[in-house]
Amino acid sequence: MPEGASLGDPKLKAESARKAFEQEFERFARFRAGVSAESGLTLNSAEALERELSELRTRHTGKKSELASVKKLIGRVAPEERASFGQLVQQIEAEITRGVEEAEAALLAFINDARRERERIDVTLPGRRPRRGHIHPVTLVRERIEDIFVSLGYIVEDDREIETDFYNFTALNIPENHPARDPLDTFYTTTGLALRSQTSTVQIHAMQRRGVPVRMIAPGRVFRRDTPDATHNPMFFQVEGLCVDRGITMAHLKGTITEFVHRMFGPETRTRFRPSYFPFTEPSAEVDYSCFKCGGRGCRICKGSGWIELGGSGMVHPNVLSAVGVDAEEFTGFAFGLGIDRMCGLMYSLDDIRLLFENDVRFLEQFN
């Protein structure tokens, strides 16, 4: 004990309060520099320690603490000692606060880390969402065709799937004995009606409805008695096009198809028109476009020729125009018929077009 033991009583008390704190704080002191991985603490034990630590602080610095009662003894200290006594008390209080705060900060850091670890998620799990469905590839191609022709000023038309002889054949200049009328090729109902074998039927309906001039396309289902195999279906989709006006020539047919092909398959695609035969057009032309896979050098898709058949076309036959009361001297027009499934099959490299109508989800899922 230093000198002035008479005054030493409050000082001793202060020292004893410091000692009491140091004793209790001893087990926390090791955390002051930070909680190490080897500390063996868990989130729960750290939280408990943190609670105890805050209680410890209250006990040693709170209103009812020993230190608080020591402060009140200042009146008993000799005036000349008061300054140093005051300093001592402040110093003890600062020590306690610093020790507790350092340990507390370290514990909290540990606790926060541990909590975040506990709430860590696997960010690589697939996101939660409803399954997305898919539009049928035939529809995707059809929509694209419609978009292109609508932007070129065409009206989209459709009509019946079961047709009379007149619309399916006669008006299209398909003569009585033409093989297309044969029940080997065309489906008939028990009442003698035909399942339309080409969407050209819509040409007739459209000209009857709208008169001429007219520009229209008609995408739709058609039926032909083909046994299903990798390249045939008894039902498929076709788009018919018709443009009738004054002064329309094959040059307009060529320009229109070329424009369509550029937009559909890319501007580098070339087209080829070669003479062909269809009852409803004269002159007629088969349209080929340069293979999009090989660019025309020849590959499996184009069977080595560099060209892929797009469909039939030609100048509307005068008999077709007169079937709907249009003067073939005043008006000329072109028409074309393109296979949608066929385009679809080629664009997506389908090896078996029967898949188009089997609705296997594993197949449908592949299209966007």
Partner 1 sequence: MNISYNWLRELTGVGLKPRALAERLTMLGLAVDGVHERGDDFLLEIDLTSNRPDCLSHLGVAREVAVEHGGALRMPAAVPSKMEGRAGDFTAVEIEDEDLCPRYAGRVVRGVQIGPSPEWLVKRLEVIGQRAINNVADITNYVMHEMGQPLHAFDLQKLSEHRIVVRRARSGERLRTLDGVDRELQTQMLVIADASRAVALAGIMGGEETEISNETRDVLIESAYFDPSSVRRTARALGLHTEASYRFERGTDYEGVLRAQERAVALICELAGGAATEDAIDVYPRKIEPQRVSLRPSRVEALTGLRVETSEMRRILSALGFIERAQPQTFEPEPSLRDGVLEMMPAGLHTTLSFTSPTWRVDIEREEDLVEEVARHAGYDGIAALLPPTASAGEYQPREIKKRALRRQLTAFGYDEAINFSFIESTSGERLDPIPKFATLIDADAEEDERAFVTLTNPIIEGMTRMRPTLLQGLLQSVRRNFNHGTRNVRLFETGIVFAARKGEGELPFEREALALVATGGAVEEGRAGDARELDFYDLKGAVEAAVDAMGLPALSFAPVSARHLRVGQAAVIMTGGQTEIGTIGRLSEEISAEFKFRQPVYVAELDLAALLEQKETPALYTPLSRFPSVVRDLSLLTNRRTSLSEMLAAIRELELENLSSAQLVDVYEGANLPEGKRSVTLRLEYRAEDRTLRDEEADEMHTRVVQKLAEKFGAEQRV
CA atoms of 197 and 309, how far apart (whole Å): 19
Q: Which residues fall within 8 angstroms of residue 68, CB to CB, at 6 or more apart? A: 61, 62
| Residue 246 is a binding residue for partner 1 (CB under 8 A) | yes
| Residue 150 is a binding residue for partner 1 (CB under 8 A) | yes
The interface partner of residue 2, options being Zn ion, partner 1, none and the CB cut-off 5 to 8 Å by kind, is none
| Pick 93 or 240: Cβ nearer partner 1 | 240
CA atoms of 90 and 71, how far apart (whole Å): 9
Q: Which residues fall within 8 angstroms of residue 191, CB to CB, at 6 or more apart? A: none
Which tokens go with 238? 């076709």
The interface partner of residue 196, options being Zn ion, partner 1, none and the CB cut-off 5 to 8 Å by kind, is none
| Pick 46 or 202: Cβ nearer partner 1 | 202
| Residue 318 is a binding residue for partner 1 (CB under 8 A) | yes
Q: Which residues fall within 8 angstroms of residue 200, CB to CB, at 6 or more apart? A: 172, 240, 280, 335, 337
Among 14, 96, 253, 291, binds Zn ion (CB under 5 A): 291
Binding segment toward Zn ion, per CB under 5 A, in 1-9, 192-200, 254-262, 301-309:
301-309
Among 130, 267, 349, 351, binds partner 1 (CB under 8 A): 130
| Pick 208 or 276: Cβ nearer partner 1 | 276
Amino acid at 198: Q
Among 171, 242, 332, 337, binds partner 1 (CB under 8 A): 332
| Pick 95 or 187: Cβ nearer partner 1 | 187
| Residue 293 is a binding residue for Zn ion (CB under 5 A) | yes
| Number of neighbours of residue 265 by Cβ within 10 angstroms | 20
Which tokens go with 340? 């949608």
Please give the distance of CA 92 from its chain centroid, rounded to a whole number.
66
Among 256, 290, 320, 346, binds partner 1 (CB under 8 A): 256
Q: Which residues fall within 8 angstroms of residue 183, CB to CB, at 6 or more apart? A: 225
Contacts with Zn ion by CB under 5 A lie at 291, 293-294, 299, 301-302
